Amino acid sequence: MSIRSFLHKRKYELLLIALIQHLFIGIVVSDMPFYTEILWPVNMVILGLASIGVFIEKGKLKNIVKDVLTVTVIAFPVLLPFFKGVPEFMFMLNLSYVIFFSFIFLEVFKFLIKPSYINTDIISAAGCGFFLLIETFVFLLQIWVYADQSSFKGIDYSSPAHTFIDLVYYCSITLTTIGYGDITPNTHYTKLAASLIGIAGQFYSVVLVGILISKFSNHSNSE
C-alpha cells in the first residue's frame, strides 16, 4: 500500500489523532517555552500531514488552498518568538488558524452528510468535526483575547501556551455545556461568542445524532 493510499484510507482516523494530540498534548508537557517554540510548529506539521487524506481527490484548487493554509499555520508559530506581543501579528495568526480549521471542518461535514452508511470513517469523521469546532473557536476567541486581555476573566496570559491551553479547556467545557465558571467572558461580545459556542456544540450534537440514526436506518433497510 502506497503512502498516498494509506493517507486516503485512514484519513479520518489520522486527522482525529492529530487533533486530539494538538489540543491536549499539554496534559503531559510542563515546559511552556518548549511547548510554544518547538511543539506547536511540530504539531501543525503533523496536522497538515494528517489532513492530506481528506483532500485527496477533492480537486486541484482545494488542495492548493489547503497547502497554502498549512504553510501559513506552520510559519506563524515559528515566527512567534520574534513578534510575540505584536497585536497585528497575533490577529493574523489567529485569523489564519480560524480559516484553516474551518476549511477542514467544512470538508469533513460534507462527508458526514453525504454517504448513507455507517463505518469507522463516519465515526472518526464525527469526532474530527467536534474537535475541529473546538480548534476553530479557540483561535477565534484568541483574536479577542490578544486584542483585549480584559475580555475574559481567569485566563493565564503568562505565555501563548498557557493562554491556548486555557482556551482549549474553556471551549471544551462550553461546547459540552459543563461550564465550571472558573473562566468567564467579561465583555458583551465575548459573552455572545460564548453563547454561540454553546449553541454550536448542541446543534452539532443534535445534527450528528440525526445523521447517524438516518445512516443506521438506511443501512438496516438495505440489508
Q: What secondary structure, in 3-state letters, does 38-104 show? A: HHHHHHHHHHHHHCHHHHCCCCHHHHHHHHHHHHHHHHHHHHHHHHCCCHHHHHHHHHHHHHHHHHH
Mean confidence (pLDDT) of the chain: 89
Mean pLDDT of 153-179: 93
| SS3 state at 126 | helix
Boundaries of every domain in the chain: 3-222
Q: Do 163 and 155 touch, CB atoms closer than 8 A?
A: yes
For residue range 54-110, list pLDDT tens digits in order.
898 788 899 899 999 999 999 998 898 888 778 899 999 999 999 999 999 999 998
3-state percent helix, strand, coil for the chain, nearest multiple of 5: 80, 0, 15
Q: Which three cell numbers stand for residue 104?
A: 477542514
Q: What is the pTM of this model?
A: 0.86
Q: Which amino acid is at 126?
A: A
Q: Which residues pair with 152 in a beta bridge?
A: 185
